[in-house]
């Protein structure tokens, strides 16, 4: 986003009469998605000033580093078992890497345990067309045939597959709490109002992860992500982390 828009968002002022447009181009400086604005639009939106407050962001970063380190130590047996399970059932690689869009449109490589067969990405468009998701921004299936039998389903239901993202948190690309990072093709389909999601660093959990997860529509997911951006605080982050634990144990909304 340009400097004027970021300054207005940081002050809590609405970005009036400017519709954000993802051009699909990349910034030569940092490879971020280029976001332009249509001056003819009447759309207004703004982001909570706390998202851009340097004190809040510094404290949040400290909490992220400490939390990720503690999580990796405590969960190291589970990380080892997860990697071994994938390897024994479907061979290597055990880690799945995918490009996602993070803070301010910057792309990064997200890490997950591989829960799908090795040609899953190649089969995506075929499944989209056969299941009526051609125009949908996001793609979810209740019984995705690409998921590795038993191991893949278990990891996805319990979100164990997301644990390698603790490395993304340590690297500063993600936070423990924040909107889930979208893939570039999804961001390219966003309406202008959806781009406010890029005002916050993506996270492992957020409001919609504890409110139904995969059972929610894209519009509801956006509504909850927008709520986080408007209400973000360290107390909110702590509350969401605590709420995430029972949500994972109950596999609420997992697919």
pLDDT on residue 137: 56
pLDDT at 113 over 60: yes
Q: Which of 5-9, 60-64, 209-213 has the highest mean pLDDT?
A: 60-64
Distance of alpha carbon 125 from alpha carbon 142, whole angstroms:
16
* Spans of all domains in the chain: 50-249
State mean pLDDT over 2-15.
44
DSSP per-residue codes, 49-80? GGGG-HHHHHHHHHHHHHHHHHHHHHTHHHHH
Pick the most confident of 66-70, 150-154, 245-249.
66-70
pLDDT tens digit sequence for 115-174: 998 877 766 666 666 655 545 556 566 677 788 888 999 998 888 999 999 999 999 999
Tokens 């893949």, located at residue: 152
Most confident of 28-37, 72-81, 194-203: 72-81
* pLDDT tens column, 172-183: 999 999 999 999
Per residue in 87-109, pLDDT tens? 999 988 999 999 999 988 889 99
Question: What is the pLDDT confidence band of residue 47, given thresholds at 50, 70 and 90?
Answer: very low
**Which one has a higher pLDDT value, 169 or 255?**
169
Q: Give buried/exposed letters for 101-136 (b at 16+ CB in 10 A, else e).
A: bbbbbbbbebbbbbbbbeebeeebeeeeeeeebeee
State the pLDDT at residue 45.
39
- CB atoms inside a 10 Å sphere around CB 45: 18
Percent of the chain with pLDDT over 70: 68
* Pairing verdict, β 175-177 and 203-205: parallel
Residue 41 is predicted with a pLDDT of 41
Q: How confident is the model at residue 203 (pLDDT cuts 50, 70, 90)?
A: very high
Q: Which of 57-66, 68-77, 125-134 has the lowest mean pLDDT?
A: 125-134
**Per-chain mean pLDDT for the chain:** 78
Does residue 1 surpass a pLDDT of 50?
no
User: Higher confidence at residue 145 or residue 65?
Assistant: 65
pLDDT of residue 195: 85
Residues 221-244: what's their mean pLDDT?
91
């Amino acid at each position: 986003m340009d400097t004027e828009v970021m300054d207005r968002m940081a002050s809590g002022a609405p970005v009036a009469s400017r519709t954000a447009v993802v051009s699909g181009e990349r910034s030569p400086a940092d490879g971020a998605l280029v976001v332009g604005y249509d001056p003819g639009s009447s759309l207004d939106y703004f982001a909570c000033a706390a998202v851009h407050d340097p004190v809040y962001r510094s404290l949040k970063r400290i909490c992220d580093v400490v939390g990720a380190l503690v999580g990796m130590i405590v969960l190291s047996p589970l990380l080892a078992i997860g990697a071994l399970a994938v390897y024994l059932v479907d061979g290597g690689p055990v880690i799945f890497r995918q490009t996602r869009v993070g803070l301010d449109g910057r792309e990064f490589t997200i890490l997950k345990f591989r829960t799908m067969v090795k040609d899953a990405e190649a089969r995506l468009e075929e499944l989209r067309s056969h299941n009526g998701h051609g125009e949908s921004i996001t793609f979810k299936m209740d019984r995705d045939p690409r998921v590795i039998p038993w191991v893949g389903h278990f990891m996805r239901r319990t979100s164990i597959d997301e644990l390698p993202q603790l490395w993304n948190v340590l690297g500063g690309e993600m936070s423990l709490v924040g909107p889930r990072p979208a893939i570039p093709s999804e961001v390219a389909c966003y309406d202008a109002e959806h781009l406010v999601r890029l005002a916050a660093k993506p996270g492992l959990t957020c409001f919609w992860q504890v409110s139904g997860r995969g059972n929610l529509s894209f519009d509801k997911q956006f509504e909850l992500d927008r709520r986080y951006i408007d209400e973000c605080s360290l107390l909110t982050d702590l509350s969401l982390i605590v709420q995430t634990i029972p949500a994972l144990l109950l596999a609420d909304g997992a697919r």
